[in-house]
Amino acid sequence: MRAVVQRVSAARVRVGENITGQIDEGLLVYLGVETDDEEKDLDYILDKVTNIRIFEDQYGKMNLSIREIGGAILAVSQFTLYGDCRKGRRPSFTHAAGPDKAEDFYNRFIHRVREMGIHIETGVFRAHMHVESVNDGPVTILLDSRRAF
């Protein structure tokens, strides 16, 4: 499982003319699921996203997590995180999980974040979305449950 995590001062997702998710200070998280991901992969990404210390403390150091600042998460599914561009000019998505599995993992991520008491907003799975964000810093972190990077 992969995630691109951006510290934002604002972010929102639109599908057509409808805003489906919107947050102020927090994290914009793009999630991708791999064909052979298991529960341990979801656990890893969930732990990293909810505990990563990328918000500034009173000394200006990135030392606080989303939980500690009381921020929100905007989660957006994105199979293209598994786009392989090493050969040719068109990405291959053979390692991206199929829609059923990907949607299950995406929904489980959302459910578990809510169980932690963290406010979470979402995009719409498999929809064409327009994502707008104000990256704060900018701070962007890449996470991979296989620790590929």
- 84 forms beta bridges with 92
CB neighbours of 114 closer than 8 A, spacing ≥ 6? 120
Considering the candidates 6, 20, 50, 79, report the single residue annotated as catalytic. Answer: 79
CA distance 51 to 112: 14
- 142 forms beta bridges with 4
* 22 carries an active-site annotation: no
* 78 carries an active-site annotation: yes
* 35 carries an active-site annotation: no
Considering the candidates 6, 55, 78, 109, report the single residue annotated as catalytic. Answer: 78
- Catalytic residue set: 78-80
